Chain A
Amino acid sequence: MLASDVMTTDFFILDPEVPVYQALEPVWERRRREMPVVEEGRFIGVLTMRELIHRALPSYIRDDRHFANLTFAPDLHQITDRMKDLGSSTVREAMSREVRTVAPDTSLLAVATALIRDEKKETRNVWVVDDEHKLVGQISEWEVLRHVFQQLDFTD
């Protein structure tokens, strides 16, 4: 099986120049976690919900591994204040540029490995791009498992 066999073409594209709050409005109805950003036909980055939360944290908490537990501190709109700033920035400013891309003819083994590797990467999906860097598909764990399970015969 290849990347082109398991990928979905049903992704929601964002324009880099639109403010984040505006770009996300149609997304709320669709429950998407990651939205590709495309400029003049080229795939340039991904806006992820996870990264938005990450950036809304104060830097001293974000950078500190041992500050995981914050139940001792009262809330002081730290998140909401920063979210307001983030919402008004453009998609280009808020998107992640470090994304995992594969070619359509990448093997399933390589796709599955790419999905699991690099826990620290901001985007969790693997993006399928062609030779001209045009986005042709999106692969999440869900796409891989669905295609594999549908092909397997569990009746015996």
Chain B
Amino acid sequence: MQSPAQGGPEAAHGAAEALFGLDPFWTATALFVASYLIIMTERINRAVVALLGAGLLIVLGILPQSTAVAGIDFNTIGLLTGMMVIVAISRQSGVFQYLAIKAAKWSGGRPWGILVTLSVVTAVLSALLDNVTTVLLIVPVALLICDELEVKPYPILIALIMAANVGGTATLIGDPPNIMIGTQTDLTFNDFVLNLGPIVPLIFVATLVPLYLVYGRYMGASAEGMQRVMAFRENEAITDPSLLKRSLLVIGLVVVGFAGHHQLGLQPATVAMFGAALLLLLYTVGLAPDTASERVHEVFAEVEWVTIFFFVGLFMLVASIEHVGLLQMLADYVLEATGGDFFAASMAIMWVSAIASAVVDNIPFVATLIPMIKSMLPAFQEAGLGAADTSAIWWSLALGACLGGNGSLIGASANLITAGFAERAGHPIRFLPFLMIAFPIMLGQVAIASVYLWLRYF
């Protein structure tokens, strides 16, 4: 991999040649590791780090521009952006507050009942929307309900964090790891529902058991408090009934589109982007051109561009280590360590992803693992899979990475967002107390997932 030493910046036009005689393999590896380490410290915004790292690799001539651009997975980015636009518009109708209040009232106003019903709503919503959006929508309502009940919001917030992460595991669009896996393999939306759908409700119920034993049985509220919650008028939370109808129409179409994307020959990103464009049209149709443009501007301003550009930078970083051969080397190492045994490799991937996701952001981790697993698959097929389906290894990755986010307060963005709300409301969620309850629950969840995988696929 030694490249000939080059004189100076004049050599930059020869894209294949590295500047300053740097060895491409070690430079790419060093920049990749340095970028990931800086992302972990969270001292510099992660999108800035990823873009800087990728930019350096291109400028230094280690990563050809065309390879970098080809590495950016438009399906992940299009799907995320499309869903963000749809949520930005539809949440203005008040529909999500309505759902949360309705759910709280189903429980009759009892605190444990509210914890369960709000968790169910959170889990279902986070299966369809991304987790961060879901907690942004539900946590304020939960805090308001706790205020009215005059109970501490701590147990409910912990349940909501777990519900968001567990619910997001169930579908292709529920969680960023699943989005990446779904768009970079040929697994469909329905594959995710059929393979992860059966186990997620079980994991969800199993999560509630320890929460009940630790908090639930001690949760109580005054009769007046419960009456106040039952007096909530959820219909008044719907601020714009006409927008609600238009949003529900488009969300319905998008879900149908996801369910049939494979048969239709469409990528999920296409479905989401088309849905976003349609809802933008319905949202602005009939308005004066100025007002319509302003609204479109406002909606696009709500897209989390930091996340989007983080993905852009990250995909380029991963493309660089793929380009210089590091990924293949790591894959060979894993193959050797597992002796080419598919079951052992699947289990290792699930548990390593779970622990890693509890400690660091699961997005960079999964972005690196996907191409690695892809390059390992032929070797596993050669070694013989037995009765197992190759998709089992992807479900291992999805379950490990998504559930692992429950393991600590920094495990997933939804956890941090909820902790931020709690802190400002005067009920801070601390790192260690959360870890003490969340980490064992996460281990239990991954254990259930392991048994499921073993029974179903091996």
B136: chain A residues within 8 A (beta carbon): 64
Q: What mask results when residues 390 to 427 of chain B are scored 1 for a CB within 8 Å of chain A, else 0?
A: 00000000000000000000000000000001001110
- List the B side residues contacting A71 at CB < 8 Å: 233, 236
Partner of A76 from the list B91, B143, B228, B234 (CB cut-off 8 Å) is B228
Inter-chain contact A72/B232, CB cutoff 8 Å: yes
- Provide the residues of chain B in CB contact with A59, threshold 8 Å: 421, 424-426
State whether A64 and B140 are in contact (beta carbons under 8 Å apart), knowing that A59-B425, A72-B101 are contacts in the complex.
yes
Is A117 interfacial (CB-CB < 8 Å)?
A: no
Q: Are A74 and B231 in contact (CB under 8 A)?
A: yes
Given contacts A66-B92, A68-B239, A73-B144, contact A60 B421 (CB under 8 A): yes
What does the 1/0 interface line of B239-271 toward A look like (CB < 8 Å)? 100000000000000000000000000000000
A69 partner residues in chain B, CB cutoff 8 A: 94, 236-237, 239
Pair A74/B101 contact, Cβ less than 8 Å? no
Q: Is the CB of B233 within 8 A of A60?
A: no
The reply on A61 being an interface residue by CB < 8 A is yes
CA distance A115 to B445 in the complex (A): 56
Q: Bound state CA distance, A68 and B240, in angstroms?
A: 12
B-contacting residues, A48-81, CB 8 Å: 58-61, 63-64, 66-69, 71-74, 76, 78
Q: How far apart are B434's CB and chain A's nearest CB, in angstroms? A: 19
Asked if A61 contacts B239 (CB within 8 A), the reply is no
For A68, the closest partner residue in chain B by CB is B239
Nearest CB to that of B137 among chain A residues? A66
- A61 in contact with B424 (CB, 8 Å): no
CB distance from B230 to the nearest CB of A (A): 10
Within 8 A of A (CB), among B132-179: 136-137, 139-140, 143-144, 147-148, 150
Asked whether B97 is an interface residue with its Cβ less than 8 Å from the other chain, the reply is yes
B91 touches A72 (CB 8 A): no
Do A63 and B236 have beta carbons less than 8 Å apart?
Answer: no
**In the complex, which of the residues B139, B231, B234, B239 contacts A60, with contact meaning CB atoms closer than 8 Å?**
B139
When C-beta atoms are compared, the residue in chain A nearest to B239 turns out to be: A69
Contact B425 A73 (CB under 8 A): no
**Which residue from B139, B232, B239, B425 sits with its C-beta under 8 Å from A74?**
B232
Interfacial residues of chain A within 74-121, with CB under 8 A of chain B in the complex: 74, 76, 78
Closest to A63 in B: B424
CA distance A140 to B295 in the complex (A): 30
In the complex, what distance in Å separates the CA atom of A71 from the CA atom of B144? 13
A60 with B144: CB separation less than 8 A: yes
User: In the complex, A121 Cα to B115 Cα: how many Å?
Assistant: 38
Contacts of A61 in B (CB 8 A): 140, 144
What is the distance, in angstroms, from B69's C-beta to the closest C-beta of chain A?
Answer: 35
In the docked arrangement, what's the CA distance between A129 and B237, Å?
46
A58 touches B144 (CB 8 A): yes
Contact at B232–A73, with CB atoms within 8 Å? Answer: yes
Instruction: Collect the chain B residues with CB atoms within 8 Å of residue A72's CB.
Output: 97, 101, 232-237
A76 adjacent to B148 (CB under 8 Å): yes
Expressed in whole angstroms, the Cα–Cα distance for A72 and B98 within the complex equals: 9
A85 shortest CB reach to chain B, Å: 11
Smallest beta-carbon distance B2→chain A, Å: 55
For the complex, give the distance between the alpha carbons of A112 and B91 in Å.
Answer: 36
A73 touches B148 (CB 8 A): yes
CB distance from B168 to the nearest CB of A (A): 21
Give the distance in Å from the alpha carbon of A71 to the alpha carbon of B92 in the complex: 15
Measured CB to CB, the nearest residue on chain B to A71 is: B236
Bound complex: CA A48 to CA B148 (Å): 28
- For residue B148, which residues in chain A have a CB less than 8 angstroms away from its CB? 73-74, 76
The answer to whether A74 touches B236 (Cβ under 8 A) is: no
B236 touches A60 (CB 8 A): no
Q: In the complex, how many angstroms separate the beta carbon of A62 from the nearest chain B beta carbon?
A: 8
**A61–B97 alpha-carbon span in the complex (Å):** 12
Q: How far is the CA of A22 from the CA of B160 in the complex (A)?
A: 43
A74 touches B143 (CB 8 A): no
Q: Kindly list chain A residues whose C-beta atoms are within 8 Å of the C-beta of B150.
A: 76
Q: How far is the CB of B54 from chain A (nearest CB, A)?
A: 33
Q: Which residues of A contact B137 (CB under 8 A)?
A: 66
Contact among A67, A74, A78 for B140, CB-based, below 8 A: A67
Contact B236 A58 (CB under 8 A): no
Q: Top 7 nearest A-B pairs by Cβ distance?
A: A59-B424, A60-B143, A72-B236, A60-B140, A72-B233, A64-B140, A71-B236
Known: A61-B144, A66-B97, A73-B148. 12 other contacts (CB 8 A): A58-B144, A60-B139, A60-B144, A64-B140, A69-B237, A72-B101, A72-B233, A72-B235, A72-B236, A72-B237, A74-B231, A76-B148
Contacts A/B (CB < 8 Å), 8 sampled: A59-B421, A63-B421, A64-B140, A66-B92, A69-B94, A72-B233, A76-B148, A76-B150
